[in-house]
Structure formats: structure tokens, C-alpha cells
């Protein structure tokens, strides 16, 4: 909070330099929490037998380049033009006929 008053929108909408911690949770066959307190990102997985989150990976980094991208496109209709173009290029890269993976016609079985 920024004051002793009741919490308000002003408390939540602050500059990024004031962030104390950030994280997100993924729910599925396992429950994973990614958490940062300003010194890198650590991953914790819920251990149902213990009822606690256990550190499973410390100081996680995103690869500079990969073969797969992942994006929640639930709000794609609100993307700006540059983001929409970038996503389209990632989803449907131009393949020249000289590329080793280029094929024409139906898929082989």
C-alpha cells in the first residue's frame, strides 16, 4: 500500500521499479508456480503428499532462440498491428522452395 488508508487502485497501479515480487501459476496434471523476488525466477511444484510447494528449478532462463513458441491468443483481436504481424509470421513462416523442409502436394502417409 502507498498509504495507511483502505487499499485502492493507486496501490496496484505503480511503476515497475516498485515491484516486490511477481509470479504466475499453471494448473494441470501438476500445479506449478513461477516466482521472482527480483533475484531471478524460481519454479515450485505442489507436492500433494506434503501439501506444500517444493523448489524444482532455480534461476530459470528463457532460451534466446527456440523451435517452438507459445502464446495465449485469447485476446488476439486486441493485439496491435505489429504484434498481429509478428504472430502471423511465427505461425506461418515463409518457406522458400529451396528450403529442406519444403513439400508440395498432399502429406505422405
pTM: 0.52
Distances (CA, A) of 46 to 21, 29, 50, 89: 19, 11, 8, 36
Delimit the domains of the chain by residue range: 9-57
Cα–Cα distance, 2 to 17 (Å, whole number): 14
**Confidence tier at 71 by pLDDT (50, 70, 90):** confident
Give the residue with greater pLDDT, 14 vs 109. 14
Amino acid at each position: 500500500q502507498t498509504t495507511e488508508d483502505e487499499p485502492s487502485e493507486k496501490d496496484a497501479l505503480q511503476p515497475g521499479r516498485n515491484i516486490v515480487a511477481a509470479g504466475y501459476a499453471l494448473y494441470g496434471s501438476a500445479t506449478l508456480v513461477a516466482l521472482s523476488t527480483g533475484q531471478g525466477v524460481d519454479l515450485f511444484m505442489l507436492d500433494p503428499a506434503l501439501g506444500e510447494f517444493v523448489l524444482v528449478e532455480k534461476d530459470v532462463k528463457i532460451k534466446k532462440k527456440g523451435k517452438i513458441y507459445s502464446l495465449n491468443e485469447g485476446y488476439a483481436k486486441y493485439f496491435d498491428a505489429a504484434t498481429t504481424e509478428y504472430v502471423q509470421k511465427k505461425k506461418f513462416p515463409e518457406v522458400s522452395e529451396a528450403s529442406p523442409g519444403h513439400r508440395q502436394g498432399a502429406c505422405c502417409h
